[in-house]
Amino acid sequence: MTKPAIWRSIAETLTQEISAGHYRPGDKLPTEAALAARFGVNRHTIRHALAHLAEGGAVHARRGAGVFVTAVPTDYPLGRRVRFHQNVLATGRAPSRQILRLETRAADPGEAAALHLGAGAAVHLVEGLSLADGTALAMFRSIFPAARFPHLLAALTRLGSVTAALAEAGVSDYTRAETRITALAADALLALHLRLPQGAPLLRSVAVNVDAAGQPVEFGTTWFAGDRVTLTVAPEGGDPARAVDKLS
């Protein structure tokens, strides 16, 4: 029986090589026989690794022709001003969002603390998928204070943009006060939404965005597909004092 560590290691190596540009979108990967000889494994192990890449959307097989690269992992900078639309456009891909859930409910203790609200205060919840060229890069959940933004959900439905909806509500700019990133494995629900195998690697980002006065306006959690996104963390403008993103 194939040891998971072997095929996963091969898949990660090929992902890194695709990301580095060794294989570009449209390029054909070496044959199963060539890859088996390179890594010193049998072809079944190579098929397992390639199937994992295909499930993640990085490659696709053409019957009788071989396995071809479909995409490279998207570089996704995490800075003080993180805008999904701009980040994806900068990579030359087409961004889109699929909203799965909109509702207003009572905040749980963690949400209330992050947004500086009283226990059980009303919050708006927005949940959905972030896509590039139709492939889901991440699933997100954003929480907003309902009392401050009573019409936010309607504006978001109409405008299709959190930034635009907040601007209409009087928040012309917002910045990221803190980001915490944790590696974890996809559970059944996340795997279903992101079209990944259960247990696939994810990067979870938990962040608080604040307005110009430092008041929290959004508490967000994003689950990035590990094989599809490369998160980069750097101080904006090169000033270490402004490097507020944290890895934990």
Please name the amino acid found at residue 131: L
CB atoms within 10 A of CB 45: 19
Query: Across the chain, which distance is largest between two alpha carbons, in Å?
Result: 62
Of the listed ranges 105-109, 117-121, 125-129, 190-194, the one predicted with least confidence: 190-194
Question: How high is the pLDDT of residue 240?
Answer: 34
Of 200, 208, 233, the closest CA to residue 53 belongs to 200
- 120 — pLDDT class (breaks 50, 70, 90): very high
Q: What is the pLDDT of residues 31-70, one digit of tens each?
A: 999 999 999 999 999 999 999 888 777 887 877 888 888 7
CB atoms within 10 A of CB 29: 20
Kindly list the distances between the CA atom of residue 134 and the CA atoms of 42, 97, 119, 130, 158, in Å, as whole numbers in the listed order: 34, 9, 39, 9, 21
Assess contact for 145 and 101: CB atoms under 8 A. no
235 has pLDDT over 70: no
Helices (H), 58-187: 84-90, 109-114, 152-159, 162-168
pLDDT greater at residue 1 or residue 142 = 142
Assess contact for 203 and 227: CB atoms under 8 A. no
Identify the structural domains of the chain with CATH numbers, from first to last. 4-69 (1.10.10.10), 74-247 (3.40.1410.10)
- Give the angle subtended at the CA of 16 by the CAs of 12 and 21, to the nearest 5°: 150
